[in-house]
């Protein structure tokens, strides 16, 4: 990295902090390390997906360098996603390398979102590299329904992964996508189960990303409707709790646990957005719900110096929009964006 004077920051040797046009500091980076997954969830992928050639993916060393550039520019929370991040060959070497930023204090949190299918193999190692909490995507506790939603998944493997994570001392949060007519009557039981094991649960509206062979209008359940149903069983008290993500939380009086709601469709959560996302090919998306993107692979590979990379990042952040354009298209019945969720990792 160059130690030349940075006219934008006014300091020697210190990269400029990431501030977008709406004065939001970008401190949270989500990095998709692979577009591949061992599940084919009906709201995320089509059953017969075409994945990127492995040659198109950034190497683990390049992913480390890219993440480190963002850490140098003020990112304090780093989440690795996929696809399913734990199916990427050698992924533990990336966690091991990135853990140096935790040790230096530059990074406050290194975490991941996983379907937990591989978690029983890696939970203890993740904990050893400084990962303290993880998100597990799980939409049902019914084995047959789980197989139908994921198409390929085995609920027993997921439960073994969650067991291993908790045994290793990882804090687990469950993410469940609310699917109309599929799991909407089960969310209450999932709350009781998760909270009974000391895990928070967040429910998420289905997002209109990519063709998945299913009708999103048929899947879509407004969380305002779900919350009203849950309020018939539980006492839900709004609380001022933040994890750095878009969820709004309530305390469930009967269980003592927290329940989050992520509502990209019924309530735009963009006003305090501090996040950007990078794909496994080095494309930076400043907003999950917009197509505008910046290529970071070219400047990354252009030089061993990070100067060009930092300039590309700065220019991209200045294009970060105020909010997304998610909408369920009821007339054309097509996704808001052609890009699949697995490309940017949610």
Give the 3-state secondary structure of residue 191.
helix
Is 83 flagged in the annotation as binding?
Answer: yes
Output the CA torsion sign for 259, 264, 268, 270: positive
43 a known binding residue? yes
DSSP states of 192-206: HHHHHTT-EEEEEE-
Q: Is 100 helix (H, G, I), strand (E, B) or coil?
A: helix
30 is in an annotated binding site: yes
Residue 276 is labelled as binding a ligand: yes
- The verdict on whether residue 275 carries a ligand-binding annotation is yes
Residue 270 labeled ligand binder: yes
Query: Is residue 273 part of an annotated ligand binding site?
Result: yes
Cα radius of gyration (the chain): 20
Answer yes or no: is 169 a known binding residue.
no
Selection from 63, 74, 80, 78 nearest residue 26 by Cα: 74
- Say if residue 207 carries a ligand binding annotation: yes
H or E element at residue 187: helix 187-196
**Neighbouring-strand partners of residue 134:** 172
Would the annotation count 280 as a binding residue? no
Element (H, E) at 251: strand 248-252
173 in a known ligand binding site: yes
**CB distance 69 to 284 below 8 Å:** no
At 164, which helix (H) or strand (E)? helix 155-168
Q: Which residues are annotated as a binding site for GTP?
A: 30, 79, 113, 173, 275-277
Q: Which residues are annotated as a binding site for [4Fe-4S] cluster?
A: 37, 41, 44, 270, 273, 287
Q: Which residues are annotated as a binding site for S-adenosyl-L-methionine?
A: 43, 83, 137, 207
Q: Which residues are annotated as a binding site?
A: 30, 37, 41, 43-44, 79, 83, 113, 137, 173, 207, 270, 273, 275-277, 287
């Amino acid at each position: 990295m160059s130690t030349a004077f940075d006219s934008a920051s006014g300091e020697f040797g210190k990269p400029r902090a990431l501030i977008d046009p709406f004065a939001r500091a970008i401190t949270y980076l989500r990095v998709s390390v692979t577009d591949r997954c061992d599940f084919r969830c009906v709201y995320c992928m089509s059953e017969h997906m075409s994945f990127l050639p492995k040659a198109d993916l950034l190497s683990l060393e390049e992913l480390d360098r890219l993440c480190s550039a963002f850490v140098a520019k003020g990112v304090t929370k780093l989440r690795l996603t996929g696809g399913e991040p734990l199916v990427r060959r050698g992924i533990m070497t990336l966690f091991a390398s990135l853990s140096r930023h935790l040790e230096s204090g530059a990074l406050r949190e290194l975490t991941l979102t996983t379907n937990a299918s591989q978690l029983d193999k890696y939970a203890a190692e993740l904990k050893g590299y400084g990962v303290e909490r993880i998100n597990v995507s799980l939409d049902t506790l019914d084995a047959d329904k789980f197989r139908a939603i994921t198409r390929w998944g085995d609920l027993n493997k997921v439960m073994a992964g969650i067991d291993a994570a908790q045994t290793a001392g990882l804090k687990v949060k469950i993410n469940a996508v609310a699917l109309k007519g599929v799991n909407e009557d089960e969310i209450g039981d999932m709350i009781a189960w998760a909270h009974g094991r000391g895990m928070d649960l967040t429910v998420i509206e289905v997002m209109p990303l990519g063709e998945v062979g299913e009708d999103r209008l048929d899947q879509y359940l407004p969380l305002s409707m779900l919350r009203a149903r849950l309020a018939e069983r539980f006492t839900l008290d709004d609380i001022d709790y933040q994890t750095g993500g878009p969820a709004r939380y309530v305390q469930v009086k009967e269980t003592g646990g927290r329940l989050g709601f992520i509502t990209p469709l019924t309530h735009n959560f963009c006003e305090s957005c501090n996040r950007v996302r990078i794909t496994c090919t080095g494309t930076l998306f400043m907003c999950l719900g917009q197509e505008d993107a910046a290529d970071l692979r070219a400047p990354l590979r252009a030089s061993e110096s990070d100067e060009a990379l930092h300039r590309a990042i700065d220019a991209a952040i200045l294009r970060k929009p105020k909010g997304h354009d998610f909408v369920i298209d009821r007339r054309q019945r097509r996704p808001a964006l052609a890009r699949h969720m697995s490309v940017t990792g949610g």
